[in-house]
Amino acid sequence: MKIAVLFGGTSTEHEISLRTGTFISKTLSSMGHSVKPILISRDGRWVIPKEYRPEFPEGNSKNPEEYLKEFEELHSTNAGIFSSLDCDVAFLGLHGTSGEDGSVQGFLKVLGIPFTGSDVKASALAMDKIRANRLFQLAGMSVAPFWELRKKEYSENPTSVENSGLEYPLFLKPVEGGSSFHTFRIEGPEDLRKRLPEFFDAEEHAILQKFLKGTEVSCGVWEKKEGSKRILEALPPTEIIPGGEFFDVESKYKPGLSQEITPARLPEKIISKIQEQSILAHKTLGCEGYSRTDFIIVGETPFVLETNTLPGMTETSLIPQQAKAAGIPIQTLYQSLIDQALERAGKIPVG
């Protein structure tokens, strides 16, 4: 098949997406598909190869400018997006805003191009931590107490945040964002007053959420094909032991700083709860294809943190780790995502 892999993007997770997109492209190429890697630069430019060639930069993905230059030198590119996408399906390797929030999904849907992962509505809901948390609560899931704050409200009344009623310590996080960028642990009111101006220099919308002390766990879900039906199957959850005070950007991506143990070292009763809740989160938001939900386990209760509709897909990412632990080849998972995208678009018959 002719598969376009979209990666990079304009979000703070650009660098991580470079790793995801490169890994996806190489894996799909090894499966025999014709791959067209489409790199979206940090300033929103689409760098689209004219031909299908399984060649990928070997440069340092931690330097996006260097990666972009090497990519452009490697590929003869075409600036006409509508004519040059030319693919059977788009495999999304994007993360964060403008990639995971329904924007690109809507763009591809208008063009009539099948794409992997969740549709527009589920992508937008999952990306919005406030709305997602409210839906999780309605579904009967446990959620840490939270409070919403917008930049405009803060600018007009900076002291209003002190009346939130939340207990300290708490976390200050972007409502839309991932990989723990611009995420801070706040110890008290004075700490919050210092952090908010810095936070709102980069973000428009904040969620303040009570800190819960417990075990951090993440669990993937995929839609397994059985005959003419698709069955939701939860993967073995991963236990995360952060190298710092929480699973921040450095803990997530600096090798050896954190431990990720798959399957999680938890009683079977708790594992089952986590898997059931991951499937419930997937269904509550209307996700498709696959997702990954993060939890804090307090006692025997999983508190849901967030659901990712386009989770990381590098060699060391959690979903590939969990698929391996379940005995599912990554190629099987990828092909399932491609088939699901085509079925949703009515491109191939179900069954």
Over residues 70-103, the pLDDT tens digits come to 888 888 776 566 667 889 999 999 998 889 999 9
* CATH among 3.30.870.10, 3.20.10.10, 3.30.470.20, 1.10.1060.10 for 125-141+213-346: 3.30.470.20
The predicted pLDDT at position 253 comes to 46
Residue 34, CA distances (Å) to 40, 57, 114, 267, 334 in order? 19, 17, 16, 44, 14
Strand, helix or coil at 62?
coil
Say whether 163 counts as a known binding-site residue: no
| Annotated binding-site residue? 308 | yes
CATH 3.40.1480.10 for domain 146-210: no
Question: How are beta strands 170-174 and 205-210 bridged, if at all?
Answer: antiparallel
User: Where does the chain show beta strands of DSSP type E?
Assistant: 2-8, 34-40, 46-47, 89-92, 142-143, 146-150, 170-174, 184-186, 205-210, 215-226, 229-234, 238-241, 259-261, 290-298, 301-308
Kindly tell me if the per-residue pLDDT of 248 is higher than 60. no
Per-residue pLDDT at 154 exceeds 90: no
List residues with catalytic annotation.
Answer: 13, 179, 317
d(CA 347, CA 345) in angstroms, rounded, equals: 5
Residue 115 DSSP code = B
Task: Determine phi and psi for 281, rounding to 5 degrees.
Answer: -60, -45
pLDDT score for 50: 84
Per-residue model confidence (pLDDT) at position 256: 59
Which option is the CATH number for 2-115: 3.40.50.20, 3.40.50.1370, 3.30.870.10, 3.40.50.300?
Answer: 3.40.50.20
